[in-house]
Amino acid sequence: MRLWTYREGGEGVSKHTPKPWVAERSCDMTGAPLRAWWISARGDNDIAETSGEKWPEEEAANARLIAAAPELYEALKEALPVLLGLVTDEGLKPEKKGYVCGGYSAYEAAKKALEKAEGVADR
């Protein structure tokens, strides 16, 4: 199996704030909880805040997804060479019939998601 590697340094490498990121409910000046959530790194580096305009369950889910971004990014980077190996070794192409063609679409989706996270897709 051949391994596909993402470029080290420069283009193709995310420069995001290091993990861990945590999601915590925002509070007002009295400490009462608000609908919005804060996402921060190591407790002192603010990353994002949800809008507070959605249903509470959706606000919490959005905050958790944002907070999980660094781990999801790393997992996808690790999975991409494996998917490429399957695509290459098994010849998985979109025109092939059967369950194996899902490997190609999974590889393409993972690659596009990484490129979006790294700003490569915006160029």
| pLDDT per residue as tens digits for the range 9-36 | 444 556 788 889 999 999 999 999 899 9
- Residues 80, 111, single domain; the answer is yes
- Residues 112, 95, single domain; the answer is yes
Percent of the chain's residues with pLDDT above 90: 40
Burial (CB < 10 A; 0-12, 13-18, 19+), residue 2, is: exposed
Prediction pTM value: 0.72
Omega into 20 within 30° of 0, i.e. cis? Answer: yes
On average, the pLDDT of the chain sits at: 79
Residue 18 pLDDT: 86
> 21 with 69: CB under 8 angstroms?
yes
- Residues 40, 60, single domain; the answer is yes
Asked if the structure places residue 95 within a domain, the reply is yes
pLDDT of 4 > 70? The answer is no
pLDDT of 83 > 60? The answer is yes
Considering its fold, how many domains does the chain have in total? 2
Domain that holds residue 38: 21-67
